[in-house]
Structure 1
């Protein structure tokens, strides 16, 4: 059951869940009539409700159809190119029609936070929590500025409640990038140093600000600031000038930014671990009834993003809320008519990012040299069963069938998160996957019946396109990440297990810290924290893996390895959209049509070929930053538009 805070927050998110998000502002949530405003300060409960409403401006990271950063990178492709989110990979967004814009929403949250902060003294009895409320409001002001900074670069800094009678000629303009980051860090520091926030929250206050969350977001801000997009990007610096012609972004690279980000991340990690956060390494058997996968490493990885916050010590900050029928779980499970949609399909680019069982890129591993990844292999009990970390063997595919070679001898995260041709999808089938639909499991493996399905992606296979124009897997793979193995699919519905959606988790912080260390020249520390994630993932250390090809990665090579690890570990967790931008790689990966398997092939031989997927993909120079809505530029002549819009 959701706590009161999350219930309140979820109801506010429903109010804000429109495709553009641009109409949500202070007046949508708090009426402007004087008597009603007075009611907001009449007692503690009213003030707490007002505080909770200030959290209600947070974007919903789990909103599939209208989410900015969940399905919009190069990780997956789907048949739902008509949905709102698809305008971003297509490049169909402009200042006149930004499609999904947080500009007004987040400034509305900032204004509302300042309003409560200014009037909190009027509440007659704050039960000793007034300083905590003030610290949370400072946190939210910093957080909303940080989200704006990530979207738009240099932004308008709002240091106090804005007077609505301000003459338009005196409207605030955009500050420099340096001033923007300095202000965001300052607000997080004020929240941290207040001494009023706890290090961790449980029960009814789960989801509210903590010092650990504030430290993690401060570090993330500094890492983004240090990254190539905003650090020494002469092209962007030359194109983005303020109204008076002054520089908004420096064209000079500053290596010390990485040092500052590194130090901030170490402080955040130390605080998180001191508060009891640790990597998720064990699944409580009471929380997962499905006995598959049996291998403990695979079970852990499969449940990593499917376990509620209270049972997952890795989660630093999570967003609660019902997913609805069009987000990640419904879109990922094998198709059943009018029940689940079977179309969230990892691209061949994403599939190739996953390592081999030796912890190396597929094309680097000596075991694959001279062998085609598309070679069709006969599956046997031996090659369809793998062992990780000396644990119980894991069956990863169905013997006596065939699959492309690329699906064999991969790392545990591949088998936990990717469904491939004649591989296994762990679900508690409850009549949705019938023998008549091709989901029969041979009697030899009767124990597996009703606990998993075999996925066939050739055209007439049980997960194939057949004659459907929608609800199929365009790349010939399906996503399994964040899909609970205990979901029960019926012929006329589905029993879905809910969980909090992680917005910050410890493994992400480890990888961010490792990246900052490597960029700052501290390779030893970078490898130490990189290996923490690799160890949990069931692969060798970076040193052991690369020794197989006679290398000991350092410098830029190590940075690239950390980036690949991040793309694997944080697959489908709202990072790819931003990481590719801050690394200046989006023009390479987002400006090409995705590729997958030949889903029009009827036989495995015909299926096992690379095929380009016929969808529009476009990434322009303008797209490194998002457009400020044209109406706001027209209303405030002191604000300049981002380049290219």
Structure 2
């Protein structure tokens, strides 16, 4: 069947469109090799997750800050979104991907030399991609037009001017596609060298779980803030009454995905030091387990990683704190900076929030303290740094770099000799501080988590970076989604605690019940639904920090208005003395309103199709 190019992006172009791919569509499906190329074209629309150029979740919220001219999506975090040429607009590329998926599905049966089993697998892969592209749009724009099939060339202008569908219809269609895809997908990739990044049945079920948790979350489930968003035909686009059944369905989907993933051998990653050159302490093994769960490619915890994200190496360069290295015009300069609020989000060493730990000096956290030898694996012995940096959980030290903090990696692991441990000197004009040529941290913090621990400094001008495909779904993410859905559906219980505690154990923490009953000023918190909800949220924000998750989680929980109306803070980077450096400073005063939960639809698209009603507030 003849098809048109995606005119949904600008319907006024409809009469001018001459589909340049019509002459080649028939050729694309004349033999298996050509059809396979078209299959890979369908994959090519995957967003480049984890990159500053294509992922708004990196610096579009409050988790990471940077130098404005170096990170386009920082403009979104600073409140400069607009409806004319919106920042991070994915409307056109995602619908182009959906268009090509439809072309594939409509023509794949024409390929004569394709075995039935392979044909069914390819169809399933493309249905999965079509579901993911629709889901990517729903997360950004809310209710969207569903493009189930491409329009024929004979379609008139009115057929092209599609409507936004109710948000429940959008989620139902996405899950329908995933249900159709899953049975024909392989359980695992048998040839990683040729098929890495292609989808599997565990990926499909895990994405379905995430989709259903999103659909059950407050942003989409009973969101009365969207009561006035109606389609051009006057129909409501949001349900206004929360549904418990959505959480129940989400919990069931999460458990099904977990069972299948574990049956295929997926498990929480733990670093194996068997082939390590140096003897490592349990402290360092725990840190490497946390870091490598993200940065070691295709490890035991990775359900789905995005092989389209080919610039992870560059992300590591701009995140790394190392001083004075210039590679092809790119320096390692620590410019991608965690914010002070993120540093405060991590637990104390007792596994509870620092403002709840009755043994931790929360009111004195901005004072200074000298590290002793017992701190040497986390903080350089004898170094003066903020009290905030002491007696924190292992994920704090695995994920964050800070003034005086030890930075494992770059090829050196001799923790028996503290003088051999790399550490950060971050005050004004120190080797990693502000005031020197090039860029620097803007908050006083650096990312460790996303940097592969095997990256090696060979000499003053050579920093070898080990790339890895950016993880989209990890088993820890799935565990926490299940705990969240189950808590919302039934309240706290043994099963909820189990999956949170598995993640805490890998991070070197005691179980929830013990930690809260022993150390918290609110010992009953895990025993009620509201308290457990708060715990699960904080666990997600900690465990998945810097992985493009917080941005979306705050939105679906409708917590962005609370979190993104607080100032972005850091230390006083222009100071040389300890007391002066450790004064909090405001980097930027953020603001976030109800309208900001969803992207504006570009004015060009609205002008071309008046059936595409604009999101509220834009």
**TM-score for the superposition, normalised by structure 1:** 0.86
1:398 paired to 2:414: no
Partner residue in 1 for 2:201: 211
CA deviations 1:280-319 (Å, max 9, x no partner) are 013355589896996221121122212111xx11100001
User: Which of the residues 259, 266, 281 maps onto 1:277?
Assistant: 266
The residue correspondences of 1:254-269 to structure 2 (distance < 5 A) are 254-269=243-258
Label 1:492 to 1:197 Cα distance change in 2 as closer, same or farther (>3 A). same
Contact 1:335–1:472 (Cα < 8 Å) also in 2: no
Q: Secondary structure at the match of 2:33?
A: helix
1:499 paired to 2:489: no
Label 1:294 to 1:518 Cα distance change in 2 as closer, same or farther (>3 A). closer
Cα distance, 1:537 vs. partner? 0.9
Of 83-92 and 329-338, the range deviating more from structure 2:
329-338
Contact 1:356–1:365 (Cα < 8 Å) also in 2: yes
Of 472-481 and 289-298, the range deviating more from structure 2:
289-298
Partner residue in 2 for 1:366: 358
Contact 1:345–1:476 (Cα < 8 Å) also in 2: yes
Q: Secondary structure at the match of 1:453?
A: coil
CA deviations 1:570-621 (Å, max 9, x no partner) are 00111111111111111222233301122122111111222111x3633232
Cα distance, 1:473 vs. partner? 1.1
Contact 1:298–1:412 (Cα < 8 Å) also in 2: yes
Contact 1:288–1:485 (Cα < 8 Å) also in 2: no
1:185 paired to 2:155: no
Q: Secondary structure at the match of 1:594?
A: strand
Q: Secondary structure at the match of 1:515?
A: helix
Q: Secondary structure at the match of 2:423?
A: strand
1:573 paired to 2:547: yes
Cα distance, 1:352 vs. partner? 0.7
Output the CA distance in 2 between the equivalents of 1:215 and 1:618. Answer: 36
User: Which of the residues 324, 331, 345 maps onto 1:353?
Assistant: 345
Label 1:328 to 1:85 Cα distance change in 2 as closer, same or farther (>3 A). farther
Q: Mind listing any 5+ residue stretches in structure 2 that lack a counterpart?
A: 1-8, 11-18
1:481 paired to 2:449: yes
CA deviations 1:49-102 (Å, max 9, x no partner) are 110110111111022234221222211212244531212101212221212111
1:381 paired to 2:373: yes
Partner residue in 2 for 1:603: 577
Cα distance, 1:462 vs. partner? 1.8
The residue correspondences of 1:53-452 to structure 2 (distance < 5 A) are 53-128=41-116, 129-170=118-159, 171-192=161-182, 195-202=183-190, 203=192, 204-236=194-226, 238-283=227-272, 285-286=274-275, 295-309=284-298, 312-320=299-307, 321-323=309-311, 326-338=314-326, 339-369=331-361, 372-382=364-374, 384-385=375-376, 395-428=377-410, 449=420, 452=421
Contact 1:292–1:426 (Cα < 8 Å) also in 2: no
Q: Secondary structure at the match of 1:272?
A: helix
Cα distance, 1:330 vs. partner? 3.0
Cα distance, 1:163 vs. partner? 2.3
Contact 2:316–2:465 (Cα < 8 Å) also in 1: no
Q: Secondary structure at the match of 1:299?
A: helix
Output the CA distance in 2 between the equivalents of 1:291 and 1:580. Answer: 37
Partner residue in 2 for 1:466: 435
Output the CA distance in 2 between the equivalents of 1:69 and 1:606. Answer: 33
Output the CA distance in 2 between the equivalents of 1:425 and 1:345. Answer: 15
CA deviations 1:351-378 (Å, max 9, x no partner) are 1111111101112112114750122111
Output the CA distance in 2 between the equivalents of 1:444 and 1:536. Answer: 21
Output the CA distance in 2 between the equivalents of 1:363 and 1:292. Answer: 29
Label 1:608 to 1:445 Cα distance change in 2 as closer, same or farther (>3 A). farther
Contact 1:290–1:427 (Cα < 8 Å) also in 2: no
Q: Secondary structure at the match of 2:186?
A: coil
Q: Secondary structure at the match of 1:518?
A: helix
Partner residue in 1 for 2:15: none
Contact 2:344–2:354 (Cα < 8 Å) also in 1: yes
RMSD: 2.6
Output the CA distance in 1 between the equivalents of 2:476 and 2:145. Answer: 32
Q: Secondary structure at the match of 1:424?
A: coil
Q: Secondary structure at the match of 1:503?
A: strand
Output the CA distance in 1 between the equivalents of 2:569 and 2:29. Answer: 56
CA deviations 1:205-241 (Å, max 9, x no partner) are 22112111111111111111111112222121x2311
Output the CA distance in 2 between the equivalents of 1:43 and 1:403. Answer: 65
Q: Secondary structure at the match of 2:490?
A: coil
Output the CA distance in 2 between the equivalents of 1:169 and 1:147. Answer: 26
User: Which of the residues 473, 477, 484 maps onto 1:515?
Assistant: 484
Contact 2:476–2:503 (Cα < 8 Å) also in 1: yes
Label 1:370 to 1:578 Cα distance change in 2 as closer, same or farther (>3 A). closer
Q: Mind listing any 5+ residue stretches in structure 1 that lack a counterpart?
A: 1-20, 23-30, 386-394, 431-440
Contact 2:312–2:469 (Cα < 8 Å) also in 1: no
Label 1:370 to 1:308 Cα distance change in 2 as closer, same or farther (>3 A). closer
Count of residues in Structure 1 that have an aligned counterpart in Structure 2: 589
Label 1:288 to 1:506 Cα distance change in 2 as closer, same or farther (>3 A). farther
Q: Secondary structure at the match of 1:304?
A: helix
Contact 1:65–1:326 (Cα < 8 Å) also in 2: no
Q: Secondary structure at the match of 1:357?
A: coil
Of 334-343 and 618-627, the range deviating more from structure 2:
334-343
Cα distance, 1:39 vs. partner? 2.7
Cα distance, 1:492 vs. partner? 2.3
Label 1:259 to 1:611 Cα distance change in 2 as closer, same or farther (>3 A). same
Q: Secondary structure at the match of 2:453?
A: coil
User: Which of the residues 505, 515, 530 maps onto 1:545?
Assistant: 515
Label 1:177 to 1:322 Cα distance change in 2 as closer, same or farther (>3 A). closer
CA deviations 1:386-428 (Å, max 9, x no partner) are xxxxxxxxx1111122111111111111111111221111233
**TM-score for the superposition, normalised by structure 2:** 0.90
Q: Secondary structure at the match of 1:377?
A: strand
Cα distance, 1:350 vs. partner? 0.4
Cα distance, 1:144 vs. partner? 1.1
